Structure 1
Amino acid sequence: MDTPPPVAPAADPDRHRRGRNALKGAAVAYYVDMFDIYLPIIVLAPALIYFIPAHIDTATTSLVGGAIFVATLLGRPIGAAIFGHLADTIGRRRTTFIAVAGFGVCTLALGLLPGYETWGSWAIVAFIALRFIDGIFLGGEYTAANPLAMENAEKRHRGLYSAIINCGFPMAYATASLLTVGLLAVMPSGDLDSAYVQWGWRIPFILGALMAFGLLAYYRFAVDESDLWEHQEQGSGTKKRNPLRDLFSSAETRRGFLQVFVLMTGLWLALQTAAAILPGVLSRTVGLSASAVTAVLTISYVTLIPSNIAVGLLSQRYGRRRVLIVLGALALTAGVGTYAALVTARPSDLVTVTLLTILIVTIIDVPFALMPAYINERFSIGVRSSGYGLAYSLSVIIPSFYSFYQLWLGKIMPADYTVLVLLAVGALLTIIGAARGPETKDLDLGASKPVELRAR
């Protein structure tokens, strides 16, 4: 005989305060997470000679840069599996605390590393190893903090809270870019002995670590554990659970995971065309200088913030599924069309380039505003962190090989237009993934069964 699901706790007059505090924690955690991600890409790029000497050939330098990226990428799914299990068994709040402490220590250690002159090749080996460990803890951050925020939120606020959390991405990109530009203005990089190369690049790393440690204090004193998770644990008694096994134990939950995986693969593939490919298009194809590219992209990501909020509110009114399908169709039509205009026309007017870039970034990136809410709503409470973390993290791997797909496509079409194919495929997968899933905005997050089973 099946054990009846636990009864949801009575309405808590303090729910709004707990929801806001958990939201602030998750939003800042995701901001610090994304800031950490951009540190090697933006901050360290002008000082890479500190770890890779000038006599190393270009191919090796590119290989090392790729290894830094892949190390973090490989760490995230591992972190999602480890910390998803912990969040589902020992609690969202405690797991968030461990994950944030972990990547704070890793970021500080990265900022204090000696360079090639001191450690030789071991310096870059240590950097890559630390980025891998850092990726594990970063994968645990959103795996625990975002379910905690959604479960502490009132149902009518989940769409807005989801969008606010995701604003950490554009805010972190803008912060890292502006901070780097400011530091380079007062301490230009150049040869190995220049101030930025020797110690200037360390300042943002140490700042990132300090933000992580400050976040620990906030979670310690201001954020409560999810009452839904606590009630579920009380209902399970002393029975030991294996969330990963439970996640894939039935055809219903496997189908739900696959649906989210398809959706997220589409979103990540589309995102690569903006986050990874667009800077090269602006510099090589359009002909902007490095400083102009940074300025245009920073403006574009800042203007993404109000778009995130608008989409979150729309999803609360019209539903996540419907809004995601519309956004996928918008990327397939207006997104591809705007990108094609940028690649084909190659406008020399900086204002025109900026407007086109804003449109591209907004259309491609804005669906992510719904993901903290939507993916958490797709999984039942006992496996929510595991399902959210793995679906979000594993789906980024296939899109991350975008450069190989472009290389293959370049054999049958002009290389400049391969990005349009990737964007179109990503948009189609987004539409298919969203269409195959149910509506979730009115879901009770305390329910113990996946939405398909409860919908019958």
Structure 2
Amino acid sequence: MDTQEARRAAQLRRAAAAALIGTAIEFYDFFLYGTAAALVFGGVFFPELGRVGALLAAFSVYAVAFLARPLGAVVFGHFGDRLGRKRMLVVSLLLMGLSTAAVGLMPGYEVWGWWSPVALVVLRVCQGVGLGGEWGGAALLIAENAPAGRRGRYGAFLQLGPVSGFVLANGVFLVLQLVLDERAFAAWGWRVPFLASLVLVAVGLFVRLRIEETPLFRAGEERGRPPVVEVLRGHWRTVLIGCGAITVGYALFYLTTTYALAYATTGLGVPSTMLLSMLLVGAAGKGVTVWVSARRSDQWGRRRTLQMATGLAMAWSLVLFPLLETVRRPLMFLALAGAMVVLGCLLGPVAAFLPELFPTRVRYTGAALTYNLGGVVGGATTPLIATRLTEAYGTAEPVGWYLAGLGAVALLCLRLLPETSGAELGAVGVDGGRRRAPVLGADPAA
């Protein structure tokens, strides 16, 4: 291996490590709110609304961050496509970390009254903006450094970041619930994971400040129109179809890790520590299937791998809540762990697939906007819809049919997207949903 090849290999390893560590920290921060919303935020910030009302209010604030994520994708995408990927990844990490730590310092409703939930909404918006810029930049950091035939394999490092963040966030909450009594946990224990974000951010900054800008960005063409304008004018079909293709993954994840946690603890009387333990074990299985499906997407193709995973998700959505409602531990574990394993299959190829759909000059904006719009549809609204459906029908079974419907939409969208694996970046595109020549990210208007 010559000096230049060795340098490229070292840069790729650093990029993969920076994407994994930074994304794990950002998703740790983001997932903390979901777990806290299911377990404690209703009583801390909305005590006067009753059990169901407080839970809906906590999930509504939870949804606010998803609505802010496309804004983060546009803002960070604009500057990431103009100034570089590295700078924006540092800024997004700081914004997310400081916002999360501030949540840990927030007085509850008893101290601030309604100003407390108002401030919580503001901080949740900041979290959403930060995460909206994170994933797209981290995906490009890997995609624009990795060779074409191994882009899915290296993209797996990015997709393991959310898995690691989820395990860390839920693990901390589980430990605190085991060592603290219920009163201490509600009074101050839940704040500890949020304040710990400051330490993790320091680690992430150390790693990210040592990486280099991606070679494709350094060699990029002259930038003309603002990236979001170019994306919305020339690539809007790709954004919408790509969003539809990944929505089911978001919905399955947040139904499993947030809504199911709240439903089983408050509606079925299951101890939260038991559920968190099951989810943590399931997350290990999810990590394995993320790695396997990402690598297989280099061999089988991104579309084919995602189509098979979506079919699995549709099948599992119909048994998830019936198994959970048996309140039998083995079947509840099967429901949650199985959902996490299916999720890994869905998420593995995405880090390579979305960046491959856009040209270099707008890749940050296009990939980030697509990914985060999927979060609005699949992540923000799903816990709210699930709560309403369960309240109306007295069972969570209709939630599974809702999820299966999202899977059917995803399969249709995947048929309209091109196969992108193996091609060089900057050369495949989508024009009105029709498959074109194998030129990744080509401008449909050209």
Normalised TM-score (structure 1): 0.85
Cα distance, 1:35 vs structure 2: 0.8
Residue in 1 aligned with 2:192? 203
**Is 2:102 aligned against 1:113?**
no
Deviations 1:79-127 (A, max 9, x none): 0111111111110011111111111221222222334454333233222
* Aligned residue in 2 for 1:363: 342
Change in CA separation of 1:188 and 1:407 when aligned onto 2, cut-off 3 Å: closer
Decide which of 22, 30, 36 is 2:15's aligned counterpart: 22
**How far 1:408 sits from its partner (Å)?**
7.8
Distance 1:249 1:49 in 2: 42
Measured at CA, do residues 173 and 142 of structure 1 come closer, stay the same or move farther in structure 2, by a change above 3 Å?
A: same
Mapped partners of 2:98, 2:321: distance in 1 = 43
Which of 304, 314, 323 is matched with 2:296 structurally?
A: 314
From 89, 96, 100, give the equivalent of 1:96.
89
Q: Secondary structure at the match of 1:248?
A: helix
CA distance in 1, matches of 2:53, 2:302: 45
Other-structure match for 1:142 = 135
Residue 376 (str. 1) matches residue 369 (str. 2): no
Partner of 1:455: 438
**Which of the two has higher C-alpha Rg?**
1
Code of the residue aligned with 2:86 in structure 1: it is: R
TM-score, normalization by structure 2: 0.87
Give the letter for the 2:114 counterpart.
S
Cα offsets for 1:278-332 (capped at 9, x unmatched) = 3356457776332222221221112211111111111111111111111122223
Within 1, Cα distance between the matches of 2:424 and 2:347?
A: 22
Distance 1:14 1:74, change over 3 A: same
Tell me what 1:262 maps to. Answer: 244
**Could you say which residue in structure 2 is the equivalent of 1:219?**
208
Which deviates the most, 45-54 or 323-332?
45-54
Q: Is the 8 A contact 1:260 1:433 kept in 2?
A: yes
Structure 1 residue runs without a partner (length 5+): 1-9
Alignment correspondent of 2:382: 402
**Partner Cα distance (1:12, 1:374) in 2:** 25
**Structure 2 CA distance for partners of 1:44 and 1:202, relative to 1, 3 Å:** farther
Q: Say yes or no: does 1:431 pair with 2:419.
A: no
Query: d(CA) in 2 for partners of 1:301 and 1:93?
Result: 29
Change (3 A) 1:74 1:58: same
Q: CA deviation at 1:203?
A: 2.1
Shift of 1:30: 1.6
CA displacement 1:109-157 (0-9 Å, x = unmatched) = 2222334454333233222211112211121111212211211122233
Residues 283 and 110 of structure 1, relative CA distance in 2, 3 Å threshold: closer
Contact 2:178 2:273 in 1 (8 A): no
Equivalent residue in structure 1 for 2:167, among 171, 174, 179: 174
Change (3 A) 1:152 1:323: same
Alignment partner of 1:127 is 2:107: no
Against the structure 1 CA distance between its residues 382 and 113, is the aligned structure 2 distance closer, same or farther, given a 3 Å change threshold?
same
Q: Which residue of 1 aligns with 2:156?
A: 163
SS at match of 1:390: helix
Q: How many equivalent residue pairs?
A: 433
Letter in 2 for 1:177: N
* Aligned residue number for residue 249 of structure 1: 233
Return the alpha-carbon distance in structure 2 between the equivalents of residues 338 and 120 of structure 1.
Answer: 42
Amino acid across the alignment from 2:242: V
Partners of 2:266 and 2:112 in 1: how far apart? 35
CA distance in 1, matches of 2:171, 2:343: 23
Query: Residue 370 of structure 2 corresponds to which residue in structure 1?
Result: 391
1:290 matches 2:290: no
Contact 2:27/2:162, CA 8 A, preserved across alignment: yes
> Bigger shift: 412-421 or 68-77?
412-421
Whichever residue aligns with residue 15 of structure 1, its letter is R
**Inter-partner Cα distance in structure 2 for 1:110 and 1:436:** 42
SS in 1 for 2:45: coil
Whether 1:416 and 2:396 are equivalent positions in the alignment is: yes
253-262 or 97-106, larger mean C-alpha shift: 253-262
Name the structure 2 match of 1:339: 320
Residues 25-40 of structure 1 mapped to structure 2, 5 A cutoff: 25-40=18-33
CA contact (8 A) 2:100 2:194 kept: yes
Deviates more, 1:20-29 or 1:199-208: 199-208
Structure 2 unaligned blocks of 5 or more: 440-446
Report if aligned partners of 1:87, 1:385 keep a CA contact under 8 Å in 2.
Answer: yes
CA distance in 2, matches of 1:263, 1:273: 17
Indicate if the aligned counterparts of 2:353 and 2:420 stay in contact, CA closer than 8 A: yes
Distance 1:29 1:453, change over 3 A: same
1:351 counterpart (295, 317, 330): 330
In the alignment, residue 374 of structure 1 is paired with which amino acid?
F
Task: Kindly indicate whether the alpha-carbon contact (under 8 Å) linking 1:89 and 1:241 is maintained by their aligned counterparts in 2.
Answer: no
Q: Secondary structure at the match of 1:326?
A: helix
Residues 209 and 423 of structure 1: CA distance in aligned 2, closer, same or farther (over 3 Å): same
One of 313, 325, 328 as aligned partner of 2:310: 328
Answer whether contact 1:263 1:429 (CA < 8 A) is retained: yes
Q: Structure 2: how far apart are the matches of 1:256 and 1:376?
A: 11
- Tell me, in whole angstroms, the C-alpha distance in 1 between the residues paired with 2:258 and 2:43: 24
In structure 1, C-alpha distance between the alignment counterparts of 2:53 and 2:335, rounded to whole Å: 35
Question: Corresponding residue for 1:7?
Answer: none
Q: Percent identity?
A: 23
Q: Which amino acid aligns with 2:363?
A: R
Instruction: Tell me which of 253, 268, 272 is aligned to 1:271.
Output: 253
Within 2, Cα distance between the matches of 1:155 and 1:302?
A: 28
In the aligned structure 2, how far is the partner of 1:44 from the partner of 1:422? 22
